[in-house]
Each structure stands twice: as C-alpha cells, then as structure tokens.
Amino acid sequence: MTNGTINVTAENIFPIIKKFLYSDHEIFLREIVSNATDATLKLKALAEFGEADKEESELRIEVKIDKEKKTLHVLDQGIGMTAEEIEKYINQIAFSGAEEFVEKYKDKSDKAQSIIGHFGLGFYSAFMVADRVEIFSKSYKEAPGVYWSCDGSPKFTLRETTDKKEHGTEVILHINQAESKEFIEEQRIRELLDKYCKFMPVPIKFGEREETKKTKDDKEEKIKVDDIINDPTPAWTKKPDKLKEKDYKNFYRTLYPMQFEEPLFWIHLNIDHPFHLTGILYFPRLKNQVEVQKDKIQLYQNQVFVTDNVEGIVPEFLHLLRGVIDSPDIPLNVSRSYLQADAAVKKISGYITRKVADKLESLFKNDREDFEKKWEDSKIIIEYGMLSEDKFLEKAQKFALYPNTDGSYFTFGEFTEKIKSYQEDKEGKLVYLYTSHKEEQYSYIQSAKAKGYEVLLLNSPLAPHLIQKLEGVHKNISFVRVDSDSIDKLIKKEENTLSRLAENEKEDIKKLLEENIDQQKFTLVLENLDSHEAPFIITIPEFMRRMKEISQTGGSMFGMSQLPEVYHLIVNTNHELIRKILDQENREYKKQMINNALELAMLSKNLLHGETLSRFVSRSFEQMIS
C-alpha cells in the first residue's frame, strides 16, 4: 500500500478545479464517460495492432446510481491501468495519457486518431460534484488490480486490490449532498447522458427497460433488457453512399424531436485533409424568417458533444441551418468550452462555405424544378451567404434564383441575357425592375409590363441589402423598384406623345396643384404620359427609399429610418381629368377634384390612413348618393 501526495504545481489547484475548471458543473459526466470511451477505444485499437487479445463480446460502458450510498458509478471494459499508470496519468494533473497514446500509434491506424481525450484535467472535473472519488482498475496487461482514492485534497491512497477481476476501470463518485445531490437522480443523469453522450462511439448502458417478446407458443411476455442510451454509429459517421433519404430524415428527427417539418435538403460533410471534419447540415424551411439561431448546429469532437455555439467555426449565414459538425482538429480551450483563435478555424469555416455552395450548385443542376420549388423556403440562407461571404456570392451566381412576377425563375445571368437588349436607362445602365410587394405595387407592375418590361419579385427582408451588393459587384447595372422615381429614366415616353396642354396651361395646373397639395410631402413633376396612364402617380425617390429600407433591416445607415417620407407626384398632363380640372370654373369643386385624384393615388400607394382615409370614404359615399 502506498500513501503519497499528488504532484501538482500549485497548492490551491483543487479549489480552482472545483470552482472554475468548467462553467457548468454538469460537464463532469461528459468527461468521465469520455475517459471510459477512450479506454475502450484504446483496447480495440491495441487488439487491431495485435498487442491485445480480441474481445469476443461487444465492449460497453455502464453508468449506474447507488441511491443508498449516494454514489454515481461509471464502468468500462477498456484498457485499464496499472499502479504505475495511475501514478503517471492520475496523480500528475494535466498529463494526458490520450495524447501520448495517439503520438505512439499515430502511424498505425486511424483509430488512434479517434481517441477523445486531449486534456489531462478531464478526470478531475469529478471533484466539482464529489466529496470523494474512487477508482478500481485492472490493466489488460498481466498486472494486479489497483485501487485509488482521493477526497479532493492533494492527498491520495493507492494500493493493490483483488476486488477488480476483469480488465477495465470503475470510477465511483461520492456525490456532494449539499451542492450536487441532483446527480444521483436518475432523470437528471439520463438527461445529461442524452445531451453529452448521445452519439459516443461505445455503447453506454444506463439501467434496464422492458420489452415485449413473443414466446414459442406465440404468447407475449415482458422481459427486461439493457437500456443502451446512445447511438455509437450516427449518420454523420457513415459514408454518404451507405445512407438513403429516409436515414437522413430519421437522423434529423433524432436531433430535433420537436421539429415536425421535414428539412428541405441536407449536405453531408466529409473531409480528411488538411483537417478532419465530418457532419450533416440540414436546410430547414425558413421562408422569410431571418433571425439567426445560434443553438441549432451541434459541435462534436469525436462524437462527444461539446457545444451548440458554433460561432467562428461555421460561417454566420449557416447559423440558420441545423445539424452536426464533428472534428477532432477544432482548437478548444482546456475545458472545451470556448474556441481558441487559430488559423485552422478559418480554413474549416472556408471549407464548409465551399462545400455548401458546391452542394447547392449540384442540387440546382441535377433537379432544377425541385430546386425552384424549394427556393422560397431556402432563399434567406442563400441571400444571407451572398451578403456576408464574397466567395459564396461568386459561386451563388450559378444557382441563386430571381423570380419574376409571373412565377418564372432565372439565374442572374439568365435574366441579364433576357433584358439586355431593351431594358437600359438613359445612361446606358442595364436596369432590373423589381417589386417588393405584388399586391401593393400592382398598378405599377402592370404599367411596366404593358410597355413590355420584365419585373422581378424581390420580397425577402434581405433584398435591399442584396441589391446594393449586386450593384457594387456589377458596375453597369441598376435595380429600380417599379414605383420609384427612377423608372422614368428607363421607360421612355412615346415619341409621338405630345402634351395636350399649352405651356401657359401647364403653368396654370402647376400653380393650382401647388396651392392644394402638401409641398413638404410631395414634389410636383409634370409628364406627358400616355392618356391611358393614371392622372396622378406617386413615386418614391429610389435612393431615399432604399436607404430607409436598409436602415430598418439592420443596415449601417444610422438614422435614415427616421427621415420624413418624401414622394414625387407625377401629373399626367395628357389625362382628360387634368383638362377637366383646368376647365372647371367652380373653385371649390376644382379643389375637390384635385383632392379626390390625389387621395386615390395615395390609396393605391397605401398612403391613406386614419382621419384622411375616413374622410375619403365618407366623401365617396356622399358623392354616390348626390
């Protein structure tokens, strides 16, 4: 029997471990089970190398609770430890046995690279919740079993024992009843195993469950079987060609049991060089929901859950996705809680971006019709990526879609080819007419289409930002909303459309209108339009409207959303109503005609509200019965 002092570099290491090693004390279970998994995988690897006997039965881990003794037990059938190894790996804090093992066997098998533990402090997380920790261990080598015990001080006990007959290790935590008694409750432990150990690569038993079995005489009987609470071979660890559509959908339901809608499609990540990374990313049905969810993608290290905060690893626009990323190469701090700054992280993020773009292009090419059907539900993610990642924007030119108001879909190149011969403005720029709301801007859309122009439907909340981005990338283009004041630069007036008003009459109508409209809100513009066009048309200054939209959706134009509304009032001098207004001798009736026409134009623009709208409705009824 040996008594001694654990080799630590600071006398107060245990208080630090107990309070500050992990932000959440519940993490201890992940660390202890991870160590058990390591020990099991090591034994399997050694058996493959011919340095240990092959196991006839499947190796597993068991977690159990003894409520009477107030203890939590984690047992494995792995490599075990000798007294010398306990001295080396347990008594010398922060000496990582896993790292030494990986280094020794790194050229022999990929299995050596799958060892979870890279931090020697993991075992000591047990003291965050336990007053005393015991270890019973027996090495796979020919060596006596050993017993180790420590009460959370630098003092320990280490001796030989005959209590451990088979190879493997049992860790016993005597749970602190004052602060941590929740960890001897079955429901709490099951919850933590489901959270942190759901996909660990070794089967984990936690109690028993009942199953119905048919007997020889075709009767049913209840039997108890081991409750294996994890899936050691989750979908992302398998080759894509081994999985069917139903496998991906079933795994999605496993990850998100409360999510009733199926995903649109998914991307299976699998890379071995220059770093190791696997995973599956799912595209959910988002429509126009742009809120970033930072807890939908789960990060794993060799199938051990680390965090659902993947900031820095996954590009921000992909935070809208759901799924799993697994990599042993992601640099985390000692508690695996925070990402450390590292050049490899940028490479991982860049790879994920490229992989997503390549997959989207493939989906588009292989089944464009299906891709178009899913566009409205997935466009937010793609548009967000185009805005935030220049490399993604470049690749997205091949698959990002732009629907027109008739429901046809075009890539940017296809639409450009369609309009390039007839949709230029007076400065020679190619103009992309668009609407943000088909119903509200209906009359403007019809006016543009009557002249033979194509109108895009860009109605996502990111559209104002995307338009700015595209105009910056493609220098000789311009996006113009159909109700904008800029549309007159594109839609040319008919050469033979002469004004029906003489110059003095134009001055008269202009003066009359200026007396009867709010000149702070409306800028008056007289135009010789076709007689079938409306007498009054309200347009919005394109630049002002766009800056306000960008500001309202989180853009950098600080304060733009607070600017007063300003509109252009286009007066069609060729409409017969303008002539009637001029010819009307009754000044009050003349004013009433102007007000009615203006309010109808405002109504079509959804600018008539409150008292003004109420007065308009009442006046309209009165005119109907007069």
**Per residue in 237-271, pLDDT tens?**
999 999 999 999 999 999 998 877 889 999 999 88
* 6 vs 127: CA distance, rounded Å: 14
Q: Report whether 28 contacts 63 (CB < 8 A).
A: no
Mean pLDDT of 24-53: 90
Q: Phi and psi (nearest 5°) for 452?
A: 90, 15
CB atoms closer than 10 angstroms to residue 562: 8
Q: Report whether 45 contacts 54 (CB < 8 A).
A: no
pLDDT digits (tens, 9 = 90+) for 449-492: 888 889 999 999 899 899 989 999 998 898 988 887 666 656 55
> Between these two residues, 316 and 102, which has the higher pLDDT value?
316
Task: Give the pLDDT of residue 495.
Answer: 45
Helix extents (H) in 405-475: 412-419, 442-450, 463-473
Same domain flag for 267 and 317: yes
Mean pLDDT of 394-412: 95
Mean pLDDT of 178-186: 94
Average pLDDT, the chain: 83
Q: Phi and psi (nearest 5°) for 122?
A: -55, -45
Same domain flag for 350 and 421: no
* 383 vs 400: CA distance, rounded Å: 8
Percent of the chain with pLDDT over 70: 83
Domain assignment of residue 217, yes or no? no
**Location of structure tokens 């001098």:** 573
Domain assignment of residue 437, yes or no? yes
Percent of the chain with pLDDT over 90: 39
Domain's final residue, options 451, 469, 492: 492
532 three-class SS: coil
Helix extents (H) in 480-609: 503-516, 542-552, 576-583, 587-604
Q: Which has the closest alpha carbon to 471: 531, 543, 567?
A: 543
Contacts of 219 (CB under 8 A, 6+ apart): none
Q: How confident is the model at residue 117 (pLDDT cuts 50, 70, 90)?
A: very low
pLDDT digits (tens, 9 = 90+) for 298-354: 989 889 888 888 887 888 888 889 999 998 877 665 455 555 556 667 788 888 899
pLDDT above 90: residue 92: no
Task: Give the pLDDT of residue 193.
Answer: 96
Q: Which domain holds residue 37?
A: 2-208
Domain's final residue, options 471, 492, 513: 492
Domain assignment of residue 219, yes or no? no
Same domain flag for 305 and 408: no
Helix axes of 587-604 and 503-516: crossing angle, nearest 10 degrees: 80
Task: Give the pLDDT of residue 558.
Answer: 46
Same domain flag for 87 and 189: yes
Domain's final residue, options 173, 208, 243: 208
* 266 vs 249: CA distance, rounded Å: 9
Same domain flag for 554 and 421: no
Task: Give the pLDDT of residue 458.
Answer: 94
Contacts of 351 (CB under 8 A, 6+ apart): 271, 275, 277
**Location of structure tokens 């007839």:** 422
* 308 vs 330: CA distance, rounded Å: 14
Q: Which has the closest alpha carbon to 159: 324, 1, 365?
A: 1
pLDDT digits (tens, 9 = 90+) for 419-442: 988 888 777 889 999 998 888 888
Q: Report whether 230 contacts 205 (CB < 8 A).
A: no
Same domain flag for 421 and 339: no
Lay out the sheet containing 322-326: strands in order across: 265-271, 277-283, 322-326, 297-301, 304-307
- Torsion, Cα 315 317 319 320, to 10 degrees, reads -160
Query: Which structure tokens are listed for 577?
Result: 């109503």
Same domain flag for 13 and 131: yes
Same domain flag for 525 and 544: yes
Domain assignment of residue 390, yes or no? no
Same domain flag for 477 and 503: no
Task: Give the pLDDT of residue 604.
Answer: 79
Domain assignment of residue 358, yes or no? yes
Task: Give the pLDDT of residue 116.
Answer: 41
Q: Report whether 4 contacts 158 (CB < 8 A).
A: yes
Calculate the CA 560 to chain-centre distance: 29
Best-predicted range by mean pLDDT among 116-125, 389-398, 505-514, 571-580?
389-398
Same domain flag for 12 and 86: yes
Same domain flag for 182 and 75: yes
The single-letter DSSP state of residue 489 is G
CATH code, domain with 278? 3.30.230.80
> Between these two residues, 200 and 213, which has the higher pLDDT value?
200
Mean pLDDT of 128-135: 94
Task: Give the pLDDT of residue 626.
Answer: 65
Domain assignment of residue 152, yes or no? yes
Tally the domains of the chain. Answer: 4
CATH code, domain with 515? 1.20.120.790
Lowest mean pLDDT among 89-98, 428-437, 603-612: 89-98
Let me know the angle formed at the C-alpha of 210 by 207 and 212, rounded to the nearest 5 degrees.
155
Calculate the CA 14 to chain-centre distance: 39
CB atoms closer than 10 angstroms to residue 457: 18
Domain assignment of residue 413, yes or no? yes
For the chain, helix, strand, coil in percent to 5 are 40, 20, 40
Task: Give the pLDDT of residue 563.
Answer: 53
Domain assignment of residue 257, yes or no? yes
Distances (CA, A) of 462 to 10, 379, 391, 467, 547: 54, 10, 18, 9, 13
Same domain flag for 111 and 128: yes
**Beta pairing partners, 127:** none
> Between these two residues, 178 and 604, which has the higher pLDDT value?
178
